[in-house]
Structure 1
Amino acid sequence: MDTEETPTPRREIYDARNKDSLPGTLVRSEGEDASEDELVNSVYEALGTTFDFFLASYGRNSLDGEGGPLRATVHYREKFTNTFWDGERFVLGDGDGEFIQPRSHDLLDVIANGLIRQIVNPQLMYIGQPGALSESIADVFASLVKQYSLGQSADQADWLLGAGMLGPALKAKALRSLAAPGTAYDDPRLGKDPQSAHMGDYRNLPLQQDNGGVHVNSGIPNRAFHLAATTIGGNAWEKAGRIWYDAATGGKLSEKAKFADFAKLTVTIAEDLYGTGTELDAVNEAWKSVGVL
């Protein structure tokens, strides 16, 4: 009798050699020996961990669900301080050595966050509240990938995103905090974390400023997930993560979906999956606590 093979990742790491042309030169493919470049190896491992997480947790074969390749480019431009998903690959610069200084051993959640755009970006408009929801979904699953890799339960996790990106001299814990949005950093050079944690502090920004507040306002649904996951307890990727995953991938979100649309969908899914028990109450109360429901 034929047996179906277990899906495996198809990773490709490119080196832009500090130029701005993509994808760059292919320097490591699936199954090849480790590179002398530790950043290449760290990104390679992070792609594999993200693949393993989605397959083990939700039965998803790669981020496109069809076994597609996982691609990344490192060493993009000179002193490039950002990361981004360009539609085909995750792209990472070397930082400026002061504010942003990627530490190759501690980038899993940032890399996972970029990769997960392959799931959420095609669905939601990247402006205003839909864009903030898109940012939040990416943050949530990036945090879950890190927790999965460390074997941490919801109450053991730090719920910080991007702790490995910020320079050591900064007064900063991370780029964002899902547990306490607005507290990730407060440094005279970097400024204060501007994230909102409640709809009462929602900021209606012009589109030319943070695409209408996609990073600022994503703290609201981020905190809702943290509250739901810690109330449910256990491994956050199992029950709370399953609810959020089904809501994000079930095809029931319009491109203009707002927080309340997503919240109502998670409540419905929680009841469908787990009935009228702890899980449903936790999700309901989480969204109420941040002023969405």
Structure 2
Amino acid sequence: MTTSRDLQPRCTFIPPWLADRVASAQVPVDRELRAARAAADRSARPALAGGTAAWTVHDAGSTTRLPGTPVRSAGQPATGDEAVDEAADGVTATLAMWAEGFGRDSFDGAGAPVSLTVHYGADYDNAFWDGTQLVFGDGDGRVFDRFTKPVDVLAHELGHAVVEHTCDLAYEGQSGALNESVADAFASCLKQRVLGQDAAAGDWLIGEGIFRPSVQARALRDMAAPGTAYDDPELGADPQVGHMDDYVDTTDDNGGVHLNSGIPNKAFQLAAVAIGGTSVEGAGQVWYAALTGGAVSSTADFAQFAAATVAAAGEHADAVAQAWAQVGVEPSAAGGASRPGPDGSAARTLRVERSGGFAGRTQSAEVDLDDPAAGDLRGLVDEAGIATLRAPADPTPKPDMFVYGFCVDGGDVVRVPEHLLTGAQAEVARRVLRTADGTR
């Protein structure tokens, strides 16, 4: 049986609303990165300098057991496995950015080795940081492609690790949206650094390369124009917002962390362009100083975080304050309360919900356990103890991990973070959610 360690994602990449529309998916790889790879043979490229931190890529072999089998470590040659080698290139480049751009040695600032796992799960549409491990699924090949393809996905997840080891922003409401946004900000810093771009030249797309070519999408998120990254018949339109006038109060996605992160995302993009130069040397330095300066609490809201960035901006304080003003945030040391996290909503028979993840999608499905088509699902539900399931003592979600909700016979929804599911509960969720895609 799968253990809780087997299912231990922490900071995921896919938002819950995308999970609602897909059932499995990803976008075409970074165009410019692909062009660069086509222009030079992969094995002939010079290695990117990194910090002192060691790293190891593991192969989960399409299981959910972590960390998997070690397959490549720092200093070793390419293996020929695309996911393994993309993860190796990505972690090398990301550690180099943190070391050379911010003087930070690994995610903890003290040279901690980085453990990565690829080929996680079967058709797994996500990437996450679980507090120990960077984990990447291969996507379903229908909507999503490999999550190692765009280098900014890996940089985003390692950004969550940096947040955890600095101000540890709580993953719900506004503080959770800030957690997501900071990860996106440093992911953009990395992508632009790899491409040799300054802030003005950057495309500010996050996850370009996540969706398959058939999906009508430029990327998963657009920091410069939140809400415009995709508009697809199956996925719908990108629902992210970019101004406080449009702030979304919701119980899904840990209080809309992927929806509302567009607001601070846009503020970072505006500040980076206004300050000028590269994002690493400009706005990135300001945001990093705010993260590490002690003025940002774990429950900080947008106004508090904005105040910390203005205070850290020095000669660029006016530009940073104006960037926040353009998204409707007034910097304030007092700030306001973070928006609440998710609560339950009723359903009938057995209803399973899944929200969160890197894409911030919400997926749900409901089944009649007496329906012959349900097969042996009732027995599995009994084995998993779903009817008597109680919320865990510490239901705190982990960044970019999924949160599952179970509702039996119209009762309250019991929410369980992915890393706390038993193997049987995870299988029940997988089976029920598959019905949303018309399969059993």
Give the TM interval when normalised to the shorter protein: over 0.9
Residue 212 of structure 1 is matched in structure 2 by 255
Please give the alpha-carbon distance, in whole angstroms, between the structure 1 residues aligned to 2:197 and 2:161: 25
Which structure 2 segments of 5+ residues have no match?
1-49, 331-440
C-alpha contact 1:81 1:95 (8 A) present in aligned 2: yes
SS in 2 for 1:214: helix
Please give the alpha-carbon distance, in whole angstroms, between the structure 1 residues aligned to 2:98 and 2:283: 14
Please give the alpha-carbon distance, in whole angstroms, between the structure 2 residues aligned to 1:168 and 1:71: 30
**Alignment-mate amino acid for residue 68 of structure 1:** A
Which structure 1 segments of 5+ residues have no match?
1-5
C-alpha contact 2:240 2:258 (8 A) present in aligned 1: yes
Residues 11-64 of structure 1 show CA distances to partners (whole Å, capped at 9, x for unaligned) of 100000000111111111121222121210110010010010011111111111
SS in 2 for 1:225: helix
Matched, 1:24 2:61: no
Residue 181 of structure 1 is matched in structure 2 by 226
Residue 87 of structure 1 is matched in structure 2 by 131
SS in 2 for 1:243: helix
User: Which structure would you say has the larger Rg?
Assistant: 2
Residue 430 of structure 2 is matched in structure 1 by none
The equivalences for 1:1-293 within 5 A come to: 7-102=51-146, 106-121=149-164, 123-206=168-251, 209-271=252-314, 274=315, 279-293=316-330
C-alpha contact 1:9 1:62 (8 A) present in aligned 2: yes
**Alignment-mate amino acid for residue 311 of structure 2:** T
Higher RCO (CA < 8 A, seq sep 6+): 2
Please give the alpha-carbon distance, in whole angstroms, between the structure 2 residues aligned to 1:222 and 1:292: 12
**Alignment-mate amino acid for residue 48 of structure 1:** T
**Alignment-mate amino acid for residue 139 of structure 2:** G
**Alignment-mate amino acid for residue 84 of structure 2:** V
**Alignment-mate amino acid for residue 73 of structure 2:** S
Residues 90-113 of structure 1 show CA distances to partners (whole Å, capped at 9, x for unaligned) of 111110111111275x42100110
C-alpha contact 1:9 1:48 (8 A) present in aligned 2: no
**TM-score under structure 2 normalisation?**
0.62
Identity %, equivalent residues: 49
C-alpha contact 1:133 1:218 (8 A) present in aligned 2: yes
SS in 1 for 2:313: helix
Please give the alpha-carbon distance, in whole angstroms, between the structure 1 residues aligned to 2:292 and 2:240: 26
Please give the alpha-carbon distance, in whole angstroms, between the structure 2 residues aligned to 1:111 and 1:258: 26
**Alignment-mate amino acid for residue 176 of structure 2:** G
C-alpha contact 1:125 1:256 (8 A) present in aligned 2: yes
C-alpha contact 2:156 2:184 (8 A) present in aligned 1: yes
Greater mean alpha carbon deviation, residues 33-42 or residues 79-88 = 33-42
Please give the alpha-carbon distance, in whole angstroms, between the structure 2 residues aligned to 1:237 and 1:36: 31
Please give the alpha-carbon distance, in whole angstroms, between the structure 2 residues aligned to 1:107 and 1:286: 27
Residue 3 of structure 1 is matched in structure 2 by none
Please give the alpha-carbon distance, in whole angstroms, between the structure 2 residues aligned to 1:25 and 1:175: 30
Residue 281 of structure 1 and its aligned partner are, at CA, apart by: 1.8
Kindly tell me the number of residue pairs found equivalent between the two proteins: 279
SS in 2 for 1:215: helix
Please give the alpha-carbon distance, in whole angstroms, between the structure 2 residues aligned to 1:288 and 1:129: 17
C-alpha contact 1:89 1:115 (8 A) present in aligned 2: no
